Chain A
């Protein structure tokens, strides 16, 4: 189910043809991704767009590194920001070590970040990978809190409250590029995004990467196949630390400052949220999660003060109703497409999702109105919502919001059975499995 390059086909096909398919790793998606990365800044040329894309790329690397643990190794970490943070802080110190930095081309800096992340992961992993599950999660939390708290005390390395800042342009010019411009940094980060993603993908196809899955699913069986579950976890852990460190280094290059915020539990929580939202069961899940999360964060945080509240609701409902995340939702539709029946789903989807969307918008309007009603300064009764300005203390807007939400909800509920039926029809060939 969580295989990417081995397509689950119907068993009647001869195995020989399949074998040829799984021998080679298709290059097409990688070339397309590289082209998209090259072309993107030509379409979105303004600086804020490039800032968002840089942020997105860094989050992708970090989320993929995190999923090496959570999705592929079955280890839940509540303190993974520590490894990217250490990588970032180390890179800031290298930037500030003027003589050394002057002979180091900036594009090589992330390697050092990776090595520092890996080094810390080796130390912590030596005792934390003894078991997966709850104990591992607790140790990750304890170590994470410990290092985040130490960062305030150990000023020489972490810079205390202000953090550590530096200047990336003091590095050895790389083919004449000094990385003064945002766009140059974008291409540097994109290059590392491609490299890290490819390496992490390849890692999942190596013997140790395959055994990471095996240990996740059934550690005992893996032990009876000659592998020590602990060592398998340890290797996943240090490689995850390495790529987290690279993400930290890219952060250092992009923002030129690191603070305690890069290490603390909140950052660790965000990366868990991003990864889970995208879907832990598929390699591309975290990529999707990072893109969607960064976009939603950027857009929503400009529109509303309550964005963290919405993120929390989204997160909890993802865990409750779509544990496969976005990637899981997408992959659910693969069988329907294979049977050529996907088009039968379009109309029922529109019928259900459109009113569903209105319900959600209506609910969020009500939430915003309640918030405004409770917290706006006295006298400021006017609020603007969905391009409409109205008085949040008047009855009429409330009636409209409630009626629209309730009506949309009613329509959604009424159309759900139709969608379920269409879904079963579209997946009828799969032998009852959905």
Chain B
């Protein structure tokens, strides 16, 4: 069993389709993402990247096709069940608990994985390991100084960092980030990229990203999604050299980049 588990990809997507009414958004995506891989999904606007993300994480049900996490079919599972199987995601539009303190945001994200479940017999503030774990995550995402402020008053970049903190806090081994650097300045982007690099050490990372600098800096593998289909998958340099990709998307983007 152990040897076969090693060869099972962390995430396997098989012939995935999704239509909204008549509009076919995802048209037969196949993808395997190995354990410990950093995989970026890129593609022009409207290619269906966010939809793909939402299908994988159980936010929308697929029209047909399968998603497997560590070999287990995710069909029909609710987001919280998928999360408990070790998959965690961030959102393109910042999705935190704005009225709660920064510390509280992180602590809530730790509760399930620390085994507190629906318990009403122990108090969170009494649990030293919970507090320490939350504080160490705050340190990682560099928000210790903001610890007790309501999350809603943080700057945009800080909220994005908090979002990543919440996403990784639960100790999931598959992390999915939806455009983590969207709307950020250059220096903020550098900061977030460094952050992602450190917090996803030894984990499987799947990300959707627009910023080519980020993609080539972080990703081990890149998949290019165009009109709901993956036209190329491979190492960054292979993808960069792929004529189909250059034609569809990358060339123009790279020219703009440099």
Contact = CB atoms under 8 A, between A and B. Distances in A.
A206 interface: yes
Contacts of B95: 218, 220-221
User: For A25, A223, A228, which residue has the most chain B Cβ atoms within 10 angstroms?
Assistant: A223
Contacts of B78: 223, 228
Interface stretch (B139-147, B224-232, B234-242): B139-147
Nearest to A5: B125
Interface residues of B, number: 50
Contact of B99 (A1, A18, A207, A433): A1
Contact of B104 (A18, A210, A226): A210
Interface in B72-102: 78-80, 83-84, 88-89, 91, 95-101
A255 interface: no
B119 A226 contact: no
B223 interface: no
B120 A206 contact: yes
B88 A224 contact: yes
A227 B108 CA distance: 10
B135 A11 contact: no
Contact of B111 (A1, A11, A207, A229): A207
A352 interface: no
B116 A214 contact: no
Contacts of B131: 19, 22-23
B119 A208 contact: yes
Contacts of B135: 15, 19
Given A3-B101, A433-B153, A211 B111 contact: yes
B122 interface: yes
Contacts of B109: 225
B123 A226 contact: no
Given A211-B111, A225-B108, A206 B124 contact: yes
Given A1-B99, A206-B123, 17 more contacts: A2-B100, A3-B101, A18-B147, A203-B120, A207-B118, A207-B120, A210-B124, A214-B97, A220-B59, A221-B95, A221-B166, A222-B80, A223-B78, A224-B57, A224-B83, A226-B170, A228-B78
10 contacts: A3-B101, A11-B145, A15-B138, A202-B123, A207-B120, A210-B107, A213-B104, A221-B166, A225-B108, A226-B111
Interface of A: 1-3, 5-9, 11-12, 15, 18-19, 22-25, 202-203, 205-211, 213-214, 217-218, 220-229, 231-232, 235, 239, 433
